[in-house]
A = this chain, B = another copy of it.
Amino acid sequence: MPIPSALETPLLLLDEAQMQRNIDRMQARMDALGVRFRPHVKTSKCAEIVRRQLAAGARGITVSTLKEAERFAAEGIDDILYAVAIAPAKLDHAMRLAREGVRLTVLVESVAGAAALARHGIERRHVHEVMIEIDTDGHRSGVRPDDTVLNEIARALRTERGGGARLAGVMTHAGSSYALDTPEALARMAEQERSGCVRAAERLRAAGHPCERVSVGSTPTALSARALDGVTEVRAGVYVFFDLVMAGVGVCSRDEIALSVLCSVIGHREDAGWVITDGGWMAMSRDRGTQKQRRDFGYGAVCDLHGHPIEALAFDDANQEHGVLHWTGDGNVDLARRFPLGTQLRILPNHACSTAAQFDRYSVLLDGKIREWPRFNGW
């Protein structure tokens, strides 16, 4: 698709057609597995994009901050899971959102957290809807499926005098799937995520607690699960754009990455073999997510304006507003002739969530034109 060459750079290019293919692929997979899909909007933080996810069949959303909950509630989305264990100072804010009509589900992962939530609800005469975070891979927070504390947490989620906390279910996120890179290992991790979360739900139910919802997911496991028996919903975020880390994990190809940073050549250092651009780490983010993968792309994969890879340009170094691309090809090349001043390049990001967060809008390639879709950031 042609891109107007007079664009001021850096900017965040979104290929709308590719994004739609990514959305459709995930939704088709979830439909085939017979589960509800609740996209994680922390990746895009953009109403236009979330509308497309919902139009494709998603139901409800997952958020990583209460600001996301607030912004998407204002867009009319009324079923929101805040998927980070809630800090006590945020309980009033969560209650306000729920009272404005959002079905907001919050998360706890300890007896202390459950007790604080119930106490807050009882005092305010508000019933918090809550899920317990389950740890199925040891990578972050949550309760192990077989831990005796699980039922203690459920008991601490009580109601009294019209307020308190009501257990809605269990959720887990097998974030360690990001470190895998074979279909077999990913399928095993997806099954580990599923079985651990289902086991936790069964233990809670056996102890007499309600546990309607069983929520699992990450982009790699969602795209690798072979069956999801006992799971009621799946969450995934980065699939909407994909990125180099996901390509390294093996759940997409580089061609399927819908997001890139458009930058311009602003200088050359023929002696060092460098092409300098105006896309530095402020545009790419400091995310070096491919550093531990089999192929390290530095600050991103360099492509021409049409999206074709320029394998010989390695994005080795970056300053705040300077990208330093290192020519690794033919030693006799005249870089200033090959990539003249003003040449525009597209850089595929290591991690779409962090690169997108450096921008306040998407420049969307749509029907041969560029449109701007706003996104928000922060808390």
Contact = CB atoms under 8 A, between A and B. Distances in A.
A18 interface: no
B282 A84 contact: no
Contacts of A377: 358, 360, 377
Nearest to A175: B319
A86 B320 CA distance: 15
A247 interface: no
Given A84-B266, A266-B141, A287-B286, A342 B89 contact: yes
Given A7-B89, A85-B266, 4 more contacts: A9-B87, A64-B321, A87-B264, A110-B267
A338 interface: no
A336 B8 CA distance: 50
Closest 6 pairs between A and B when the two form their complex, measured CB to CB: A286-B286, A87-B264, A88-B342, A141-B267, A85-B266, A286-B287
A305 interface: no
A341 B113 contact: yes
Contacts of A8: 66, 87, 89-90, 93, 379
Interface residues of A, number: 63
Q: Of A93, A322, A361, which is in contact with the most chain B CB atoms at under 10 Å from its CB?
A: A322
A64 B320 contact: yes
Interface in A316-340: 319-322, 324, 336, 340
Given A320-B64, A322-B141, A267 B341 contact: no
Q: How many copies, total?
A: 2
19 contacts: A8-B89, A8-B379, A9-B379, A11-B379, A64-B320, A84-B321, A84-B322, A87-B266, A88-B264, A109-B267, A112-B341, A113-B267, A141-B267, A175-B319, A285-B286, A320-B353, A359-B378, A360-B377, A377-B377
B324 A112 contact: no
Contacts of A378: 358-361
A173 to B, nearest CB: 9
A333 B353 CA distance: 36
Interface string A9-42: 1110000000000000000000000000000001
Given A11-B379, A321-B84, A276 B140 contact: yes
A266 B85 CA distance: 6
A89 B276 contact: no
B282 A357 contact: yes
A128 to B, nearest CB: 15
A304 B11 CA distance: 38
A269 B149 CA distance: 13
B320 A88 contact: no
B358 A276 contact: no
Contacts of A140: 276, 319, 322, 324
A101 to B, nearest CB: 21
A192 interface: no
Given A8-B89, A84-B278, A357 B358 contact: yes
A170 B110 CA distance: 60
A206 interface: no
Contacts of A288: 286, 288
Interface in A96-120: 109-110, 112-113, 116
A359 B6 CA distance: 30
Interface in A159-192: 175
A5 interface: yes
A288 B354 CA distance: 14
